[in-house]
Amino acid sequence: MLLVVVGIWPAGYALNLALTSFGGAFTGLTNFINTYNQGFLVPAFEHVATFMAIWLTALIVIVIGLSLVMHTLARRVSAPFRFLFYLPAAFAGSASVLVWLFMLQPGLSPWDFVLHMLGYKTLGDSLISGNLPIVYALIAFWTGAGSWILVIHGALANVPDEVLEAAALDGAGPVQTALRVKLPMIKKWIVYMLIVAFAGGTQLFAEPQLISQVSQRLVDPLWSPNTLATYLAFQYDNFNYAAAIAIDLLVVAVVCAGLLVFRTGLFKAD
Amino acid sequence: MRPVNISVRLDVSITPRPWSPRRLLARGAWRLIVLGVLAFAAIFFVVPIVWLLLESTRTGPQSQFGSPLGFGSFNQILANWQVLFSGLLGQTGTWLANSALYSGSGVLIAVGLGIPAGYGLAAFDFIGRRPLLIATMIAMLIPSNALVLPLVLEAHSLKVLSSPLAVILPYGLFPFGVYIAYLYFNTPRVHGLLAAARIDGCTEWQAFRAVALPLSTPVIGLVVVLDFIASWTNYFLPWAMYSAFDLPGRYPVTLGIAQQLMAGPSYGGGLLRDLQLQTTAPPSVEALLILVSCAPVIIVLLIAQRWIVSGRLQGVFV
């Protein structure tokens, strides 16, 4: 019931809005084509793609790397590390953005020496447009990586000991075991992580919205598809265009969810 | 005799060679590298939190002129606390109460609907059960942000944009709760218990109330923890429902934090390279605000870390 009221009905309503004009007449795909032609949507998706490239690479290299490294230690030794990595998840949402604005403000930041090395003197220097995807990836990584480390480490814990002993008997060193034995065995969890992170990444909102706000719009307020859509809806009252973008994003999300349900074999409906 | 011989031989072959000093050294070096890598990563994750803790003990001038990781005094925490709750940011209490109201009500709805729904899917075979299950899984894997704009459009048409319901009802939608309850109830053990209860003359309601419900406390715990964290830290949904319509009295604490960035006076020049961070209160008070607003989640994380991992491994991400 509730799924219908707050899940399917709004989606249907948005679809209806997306397909109609301001006056309510049915206009087919016009809104989709117009949002595309306006020239803001494609750059927004490109921005998010750049962010995603950094964020997903960091997930693959650092999250999997740290999990594999931790898996060579006793649980008792690695548990405190896992908790420390996960702790920033409590600051998800607007808190993490404010924290990182402090981290990027020369003079205040504990990373001042890094900012100094880069020659940054103001917050604005840290937020030049080429840096934005990196900054957003940093924030996403700070709040999100820990929980993915928990997942990958949990998956590694399910690799049977016999398999690891057999690998050791065959003369595999720790690096070989990690790359040739452990990685293939947790493949589906890695795919799961990447699809979920991808779907979440397309939804980027709090970071670009707040950073644009703090710079009084000197930083592009139309940076991501979601900030673009809310801008259209609330600054221009163009709910039809906003709905069209919302549907674009929802299609991406549903395709990702469908892939997870039907292709990875992680979820069962019987 | 022969099998014993074989096992003895195997044992011998598994026994590691005696440690030579060189191997010991190599192993020690390896461990040192591993711990070094982990410590390096831990610094990245922990330094911002350490900074928040230290910053909240300082005065305005101390954070402006002192070294970034300096300690102020414990008394200053109290002074900053007063600014937070009765001074400059007097609304902090309202924001926290709003957050508690929204996420608390959302969690109640999620449990109240999710557990019976999962039970229904597991205990009965009806037409449309499989499509319903698949719809539930798709819904739980869609990022919650994806539904925000459609929800705003719906709330706009229903004229409930400014009401707390506009946030509470979506927080109550927690398809993962349905799915995890379904998984939990759909085991041979629970099916057996339910069959026994029916043979003993229980009505369907009694079977749910007296057999299934008492069994489901772990599931309820998991739903409460995960939905609470997701709701408490949500920013986009309340932003879209309240912020654009200027309703600060309805703000949850995530929006309160965002508002700290709004009030700064404009800086000269209007050039990005001149931009400095402007917040309503000094950084030390803002640091304390962040810590206070995230404290409930930190406490839940401390208590329920294991549940969260198991939830994640089963497909929920908050």
Q: Which amino acid is at B307?
A: W
Residue B301 contacts A, CB cutoff 8 Å: yes
Q: Hey, what CATH class is A40-263 in?
A: mainly alpha
Split at pLDDT 50, 70, 90, the class of B44 is very high
Split at pLDDT 50, 70, 90, the class of B318 is very low
**A91 to chain B: closest CA residue:** B294
Give the percent of chain B with pLDDT over 70: 84
Chain B residues with CB-CB distance to A258 below 8 A: 138
Q: What is the mean pLDDT of residues B269-291?
A: 83
The segment with the largest mean pLDDT, out of A129-138, B7-16, B298-307, is A129-138
User: How would you write the pLDDT of chain A (270 residues) with one tens digit per residue?
Assistant: 455 544 555 555 555 555 554 445 555 566 666 666 677 788 888 899 999 999 999 999 999 999 999 888 887 788 888 889 989 988 988 999 999 999 998 888 888 889 988 988 888 888 888 889 999 999 999 998 988 898 888 888 888 888 888 888 888 887 888 888 888 888 888 988 898 899 888 889 999 999 888 887 788 888 898 898 888 888 877 777 788 888 888 888 888 888 888 877 777 665
Give the domain ranges of chain A: 40-263
Is residue B235 over pLDDT 50? yes
> Residue A228 in contact with residue A40, Cβ under 8 Å?
yes
Chain B residues with CB-CB distance to A150 below 8 A: 308-309, 312
Which of B135, B170, B240 lies closest to A230 in CB terms? B240
Give the domain ranges of chain B: 22-85, 92-313
Per-residue model confidence (pLDDT) at position A30: 64
Do B261 and A89 make contact, defined as CB atoms within 8 angstroms? no
Substitution target from B109, B141, B232, B309 for chain A, most A beta carbons within 10 A: B141
Do A92 and B233 make contact, defined as CB atoms within 8 angstroms? yes
B143 versus B66: the higher-pLDDT residue is B143
DSSP assignment string, chain A: -HHIIIIIHHHHHHHHHHTB-TTS-B-TTHHHHHHHHTTSHHHHHHHHHHHHHHHHHHIIIIIHHHHHHHHTS-HHHHHHHHHHHHGGGGGTTHHHHHHHHHHTSTTT-TTHHHHHHTT--SHHHHT-GGGHHHHHHHHHHHHHHHHHHHHHHHHHHTS-HHHHHHHHHTT--HHHIIIIIIHHHTHHHHHHHHHHHHHHHTT--HHHHHHHHHTTTSS-TT-SHHHHHHHHHHHS--HHHHHHHHHHHHHHHHHHHHHHHHHS------
Chain A residues with CB-CB distance to B92 below 8 A: none
Do A218 and B275 make contact, defined as CB atoms within 8 angstroms? yes
Do A205 and B236 make contact, defined as CB atoms within 8 angstroms? yes
**A232 to chain B: closest CA residue:** B149
Determine the Cα–Cα distance for residues B249 and B267; give it in Å rounded to an integer: 28
Do A6 and B147 make contact, defined as CB atoms within 8 angstroms? yes
Note the pLDDT tens digit of each residue in B161-212: 778 878 888 888 888 888 888 888 888 888 888 888 888 888 888 888 888 8
Do B157 and A70 make contact, defined as CB atoms within 8 angstroms? no
A24 versus B43: the higher-pLDDT residue is B43
DSSP assignment string, A14-77: HHHHHTB-TTS-B-TTHHHHHHHHTTSHHHHHHHHHHHHHHHHHHIIIIIHHHHHHHHTS-HHH
The CA distance from B262 to the nearest CA of chain A, in Å, is 6
Per-residue model confidence (pLDDT) at position B277: 82
Q: What is the mean pLDDT of residues B10-34?
A: 70
Q: A69: which 2 tokens?
A: 């490294």
Note the pLDDT tens digit of each residue in B52-86: 999 988 887 777 777 777 787 788 888 888 888 88
| Residue among A44, A56, A19, A58 at smallest CA distance from A220 | A44
Q: What is the CATH number of domain B92-313?
A: 1.10.3720.10
Do A169 and B14 make contact, defined as CB atoms within 8 angstroms? yes
**B138 to chain A: closest CA residue:** A257
Is residue B217 over pLDDT 60? yes
